[in-house]
Amino acid sequence: MRTIILWIGNLVTFVTAFGLMARYVPPQTFWPPAIVALLLPGLLLVTLFFFLSCLSRFNWRAALFPLVVLLFSIPLLGHLLAFPSSSPLMDDTDPTLTLVTANVRAFRSVDGTDADTFQVREVVDQFGADLLLMQEVRTLRYRLNYISLILDSGGFRERHQKEGTVIATYGNDITPVTASFTPPNEYNGYVVTDVATKLGPLRIINAHLESNQISRMTSGMSDDNSVTKRVETFSEMLRGYGRATRTRARQAEAIRKIVEDSPHPVILAGDFNDVPSSYTYNHILSPRLRDAWSERGTGLGTTFTGPLPGLRIDYFMVDTSLNVLEIERLPSRWSDHRPLRITLAR
């Protein structure tokens, strides 16, 4: 039995080490570690138990491998599991800015029912945001697009939304800078907006990075399908995830260049479709930005509630010149993503 436990423990530790590579290896070079990176919190926990088991049996040689892997994971732990630090001391008269990022999935419930105008008005009002960053919103081609309703409910005068795309930034005194989307559907990408705020001019990057499309394929894995069909679906999922991971890496490189060249403090937020142990996250996390949840959040900070629950894929990345006073997850009424609300100061 001890031999079996030893083999299983070493196997899990090896898989954990493989997943830890995802932070450093560009997906264009080798993308499979990105799949394992999705499971790293659980894998690290099992590796820790294996290490402690080896210590309890005084098996120092067996404990060496999991110890090395655990030590290698230390720089990542603060991003996987947040423990809030104390907030900076602020005067009550100091100006603050509140932002919300929300993937709203077109304000449509899982049964296909559109949200009524009262529900949308109520949610936008509850956000209490000075700036609202939304993904998967409706375009003007929809008769019921909620655009005027969001403007009115949030007290916004303007929005930046490239025609035909599903990313929109709402606020006041905004100046569109640029937008980039993955052809041909212009569904995934980012919009860049300069905003005059109480904290001075800010450059806002609202991102909805390349989707994995795994949720749409999970139906092919049901017990109602043949083994052959399930194997084909699983292979398709892997290929699709590899393509999406490579695209997100390219998007991350372009966003990092925008951050580095910005003349104003930067706030990057939205649905990254990737976890803190990914190459995308770590490439975006430049010396100029830090992850607001890692700094002020508590726990795992799960934002995705879909077929692969337990993932943190929605973020606020904040310029080092700004102070993060508070960040919280908000309830989700329609989407499989939980919105995030953040309060900032200078």
Reported as a single tens digit per residue, the pLDDT across 138-156 is 998 888 999 999 999 999 9
Helix (H) or strand (E) holding 164: none
Compute the average pLDDT of residues 258-265: 96
Q: Is the dihedral angle over the CA atoms 76, 77, 81, 82 positive or is it negative? A: negative
DSSP reduced 3-state for 260: helix
DSSP reduced 3-state for 171: strand
Instruction: Please report the pLDDT score of residue 215 as a whole number.
Output: 57
**How far apart, in Å, are the Cα atoms of 316 and each of 109, 329, 340?**
25, 11, 8
Please give the DSSP secondary-structure letter assigned to residue 306: S
pLDDT digits (tens, 9 = 90+) for 221-257: 555 656 677 677 777 777 888 999 999 999 999 999 9
Burial of 308 (0-12, 13-18, 19+ CB in 10 A): middle
Most confident range, picked from 209-223, 229-243, 282-296: 282-296
Confidence of residue 85 (pLDDT cuts 50, 70, 90): confident
CA-nearest of 176, 162, 127, 168 to 148 is 168
Instruction: Please report the pLDDT score of residue 286 as a whole number.
Output: 86
For the chain, domain boundaries: 2-80, 97-345
The rounded mean pLDDT for the chain is 91
Instruction: Please report the pLDDT score of residue 83 as a whole number.
Output: 86
Cβ neighbours of residue 125 under 8 Å, at least 6 residues apart?
153, 154
Q: Whole-angstrom Cα distance, residue 176 to residue 143?
A: 25
pTM, full prediction = 0.92
Q: Between residues 6 and 226, which one has the greater pLDDT?
A: 6
Mark residue 279 as left, alpha or beta (left: phi above 0; alpha: psi -120 to 50; beta: remaining). alpha
The CATH label, of 3.30.70.20, 3.60.10.10, 3.30.70.100, 3.30.830.10, for the domain at 97-345 is 3.60.10.10
